[in-house]
Structure 1
Amino acid sequence: GRVSLSNTAYLITATSENREPLFTHFPAACSAARCFEDATLFRESRMLAWVLMPDHVHWLLQLGETDSLGEVIGRLKFASSRHTNRALNRTGPLWSKAFHDHALREEEDLQAVARYIVANPLRAGLIKRIEDYPFWNAIWL
């Protein structure tokens, strides 16, 4: 049982199907990233920060009043699957069915969580400076 709490910030992790590193392909990563910036997918929810890694994504989003967390994540996964599969000239599942979520408590610092999220490529050794990684964003910039 997943609980969706209105106006609550959630840290979400979703992995690609079989942890396949699909997002090492630059056009595929660009296609997915555009979806994470598409406000129409969120309706009244909003994306606070995200980073796309080669085989997974981290989203920090604030849930709105009416949509459940599953509905918002479903729209994100559906749209990014459609566009990324087109960029890769492939069909089939892009994302694993499940996702991990953590509801942030009021005392947790959203900006600190966002910094942690966008520093993932640095910790993974993909880059030396976060400025060199193109697939992340945060509303505080």
Structure 2
Amino acid sequence: MARLPRFVLPGVPQHVIQRGNNRQQILFKEEDYWFLWEKIGAAAEKFDCKIHAYVLMPNHLHLVLTPFSQDGIGKLMQYIGRYYVQYFNNRYDRTGTLWEGRYRATLFDPAAFLVPISQYVESNPVRAGLVAAPADYAWSSFAANATGAEDPLITPHAAFERLGRSPKTRQTAYLKGFGKPLDEALLTRIRDTTNKAWVLGDPAFCTQVEERVSRRASPRPRGGDRRSAAYREATGRA
């Protein structure tokens, strides 16, 4: 079956995941992390993307970023992938593929989801059992977003800046969101939309995206739902 085209709207952020092939480890030593981190920064500058959150995990990476050109994310991921595979294969005396095919991504409504998706990304090392708290993990944007630590990769999104009038107020509000685990329903929704390449937003936002890209932004209701009384009533088919 042919692959659906990606959702890309310049100026609208996306959550991107790239995994190692068969979930194999792609980062071993500190030098590996630094190389990948530097290439992400170089690619973001070269292809006009702003990064708002990230985490580099041993076998995958997450980016929350806004492209400002139609092909910005695609070129960024291609650039990162090409340079890191060359580096990795030379360093570890190997050949062949490193990545699990195409990267996965979801376009999302920043007003509703920029902050929770960033927190989801930065909490990944905790969910994976690598650390006890996000602050304990060196290779994420947590320190920049939650404490104001300098990180050249990070450009705050307008949705983040609306958390408060001052940097300190914003950081305090952002950090408060880590006080309890993310809602399981939200976790599932973030994972499903990213893995299945659907848009993450309410019906009005999805409709706006559909009008701009001329394709469905969310899956069709299942057969059982379409036959339900609630569905017929909502669609005027009762």
The TM-score normalised by the length of structure 1 is 0.83
- The Cα of 1:77 is off from its aligned counterpart by 1.6
Q: Which has more helix, going by share of residues?
A: 2
- Equivalent residue for 1:125? 129
User: Contact conserved, 1:12 with 1:60, CA < 8 A, in 2?
Assistant: yes
The C-alpha deviation readout for 1:93-121, integer Å capped at 9, x for no partner, is: 22122121110114324233212101100
| Structure with the larger RCO, 1 or 2 (CA within 8 Å, 6+ apart) | 1
Aligned residue pair count: 141
- The Cα of 1:3 is off from its aligned counterpart by 2.6
User: Contact conserved, 2:44 with 2:50, CA < 8 A, in 1?
Assistant: no
Regions of 4+ moved over 6 Å: none
Mapping of residues 1-141 of structure 1, within 5 Å:
1-38=5-42, 42-137=46-141, 140=145, 141=148
> Which stretch shifts more, 85-94 or 69-78?
85-94
SS, match of residue 85 in structure 2: helix
SS, match of residue 33 in structure 1: helix
- The Cα of 1:25 is off from its aligned counterpart by 3.3
Residues 106/12 of structure 1: CA separation in 2 closer, same or farther (3 Å cut): same
User: Contact conserved, 1:13 with 1:99, CA < 8 A, in 2?
Assistant: yes
Cα distance in 1 for residues equivalent to 2:75 and 2:43: 14
User: Contact conserved, 1:15 with 1:55, CA < 8 A, in 2?
Assistant: yes
- The Cα of 1:89 is off from its aligned counterpart by 3.8
SS, match of residue 52 in structure 1: strand
- The Cα of 1:137 is off from its aligned counterpart by 2.1
- The Cα of 1:90 is off from its aligned counterpart by 3.1
* Unaligned 5+ runs, structure 1: none
- The Cα of 1:50 is off from its aligned counterpart by 0.9
- The Cα of 1:20 is off from its aligned counterpart by 0.7
Residues 79/48 of structure 1: CA separation in 2 closer, same or farther (3 Å cut): farther
Q: Which has more strand, going by share of residues?
A: 1
Residues 34/64 of structure 1: CA separation in 2 closer, same or farther (3 Å cut): same
The TM-score normalised by the length of structure 2 is 0.52
SS, match of residue 111 in structure 2: coil
Residues 68/34 of structure 1: CA separation in 2 closer, same or farther (3 Å cut): closer
Cα distance in 1 for residues equivalent to 2:83 and 2:51: 15
Larger Rg: 2
Cα distance in 1 for residues equivalent to 2:134 and 2:70: 35
User: Contact conserved, 1:41 with 1:72, CA < 8 A, in 2?
Assistant: no
Cα distance in 2 for residues equivalent to 1:39 and 1:98: 17
Two-structure CA RMSD over aligned residues (Å): 2.2
The C-alpha deviation readout for 1:36-94, integer Å capped at 9, x for no partner, is: 23255542112221111111111111011342432222122222223333443433322
- The Cα of 1:14 is off from its aligned counterpart by 0.8
